[in-house]
Structure 1
Amino acid sequence: MNLLVEDNPARRRYEILVDDALAGFAGYEQRPGLVVFTHTQVDPSVSGQGVGSRLVREALDQTRARGDRVVARCPFVAAFIDRHPEYADLLATH
């Protein structure tokens, strides 16, 4: 299975392609220095294969590389960060 995660700023979401077909996305709102993740959706045909986790991991890695912080309004993103404390430093404190 060939996986590729790309930011699609025009649609305000990170997209994951599985074998060149869209298999899921993580929607966000961009604010200065901040990415608010609002919703994650993965195609049921690839559910349970780590596609959602790969999507969120790479989205967070790209967010970190830009120096932005994260607000995890999406329950899937919030749960991912809870399970992977190495990303907890990205969470914005309000």
Structure 2
Amino acid sequence: MMQVKHGDSKFYIGDSEQTPKAMMTYVKTGEDMIIIDHTEVSDELRGQGAGYSMVEAAVKFARDNNLKILPLCPFAKSVFDKKPEYQDVLK
């Protein structure tokens, strides 16, 4: 599995938060919710599960911090639709 790092309102893959190979951004809303608004994966990592890995990291972050996730990003929403085990954090 790829190493997903947690940056400033984003999860990313790569050596640098400024120039990641993949990233998923979110906005914290109130005390108990994050909104995933964008997922982007470079051609280099496309098709290797990078997007799924970042959603998985967001779910773990939400569980660890008692947060709910509202996936406005179409990719993230499609992952939530396919993964019943993530429903506990879905807003």
Query: What is the TM-score of this pair, normalised by structure 1?
Result: 0.83
For residues 25 and 52 of structure 1, what CA distance do their matches in structure 2 show? Answer: 8
Partner of 2:89: 90
Paired residues for 1:70-89 under 5 Å: 70-89=69-88
Q: Which structure's residues are more often strand, by fraction?
A: 1
Alpha-carbon deviation of 1:3? 2.3
For residues 54 and 13 of structure 2, what CA distance do their matches in structure 1 show? Answer: 6
The alignment-based identity, stated in percent, is 26
Q: 2:12 aligns with which of 15, 20, 45?
A: 15
Q: Structure 2: which 5+ runs fail to align?
A: none
Q: CA RMSD in A?
A: 1.5
Q: Which structure's residues are more often helix, by fraction?
A: 1
Matched length: 87
For residues 81 and 65 of structure 2, what CA distance do their matches in structure 1 show? Answer: 22
Q: Structure 1: which 5+ runs fail to align?
A: none
Give the 3-state SS of the residue equivalent to 1:26 in structure 2. strand
